[in-house]
Amino acid sequence: MNSTPEFPHILGLIAELNKDNGLGRFLHFWESTIYAVFVIVFLSVVAWLATRKREIGSPGRLQSAAEFLVTFVDDFVYSVLGPRGRKFTPFVGTLFIYILAMNYLGLIPFFKSPNAEWSTTMGLSLIVFFYVQYTAVKELGFGGYFDHLMGQPRGIMAFTLIMPVFMLSIHIVSELVRPISLSLRLRSNIYGDDMILALFASWGLKDGFMWLFPNFILVVLTSTIQAAVFSILTLVYFSLIMKHEEAHH
C-alpha cells in the first residue's frame, strides 16, 4: 500500500474501482501518458482557436495572449543565443508551454501532473538530448563534433593521447548525465509540490487550509520556475554547441 499522500484523480479512481480487471491495470500503468496526451490535445485546441481567425489590426484576447507568449519566448531565445538561435524558438517555446501546462494540470482538482512521474520527464529530457546531439552533428559534422568532445586539442596536445582521451571521457559522461539530471530535477520538484499540498489537505479543512492556500500560491510559482529552468538549460546546451560551431568555422 502506498503511504505517500496524493490527491485523488480521475484515472486513479477509475483504476481503483477496476483494480481486478484489465482496465484498472491499464489505467494505472498509462495514467501519466494519458494525462500528457490530454495536455497535447488541449494545447492543440487552444492553438487552433487562437489562429483560426487571425486579425492584424484588432486581434482577440486569445490571439493577443498567444502572440504575447510567442514574442516573449522568441525575445528570450534571442537574448541567449542571438539571431542565429531563433531557429530553436519553436522547439524551446513548445517545450516550455507543454511543461508548464503539465505542471499546472496537477493543480486542478481530480487531475494529476504527468511530470510527477519520472517516465514523463525522462522522455522530455531524451528528446532534448537527441535533438542537441543531432544539432551538434549537423552544425559541426562528425569530425567537428568529435573534435569538440576531445576538447579541441591543438599543437602539442594533438599529438598526446592522454589529455584528448581524458577530455573525451569527461564530455561523454557529462552528455549522458544531462538527461538524467534534467529529468530528475523537474520530476522531483513537481512530485514534492504535489506531496506537500496533499499532506496539508489531509489535515482537514480547519487545520490544513491555512497552510494549503499559501503553499498553493508557492507551488504555482515553483511550477512556472521549473518549466523555465528546463527550457533555459535546453538553451544552454544549444549555446555550447553554437559556441563551438563558431570556433570551428
If pLDDT is split at 50, 70 and 90, which confidence band does 244 have?
low
pLDDT at residue 150 is higher than 80:
no
Q: Is residue 125 part of a domain?
A: yes
Any domain includes 33? no
Query: pLDDT at position 201, please?
Result: 63
Here the cell at position 32 is: 501519466
CA dihedral 31, 37, 41, 43 (to 10 degrees): 100
Q: Which domain holds residue 161?
A: 49-248
Task: List, for residues 66-75, the tens digit of each pLDDT value.
Answer: 889 999 999 9
For residues 95 and 121, give the distance between their C-alpha atoms in angstroms, rounded to a whole number.
11
pLDDT at 248 (0 to 100): 47
| pLDDT given at position 1 | 43
Q: Which residue has the cell 507568449?
A: 69
pTM for the whole structure: 0.87
Give the confidence band of 207 by pLDDT, cuts at 50, 70, 90: low
pLDDT at 172 over 50: yes
The answer to whether position 105 is within a domain reads: yes
Task: Evaluate whether residue 30 is within a structural domain.
Answer: no
CB proximity list for 151: less than 8 A, separation 6 or greater? 163, 164, 167, 168, 171
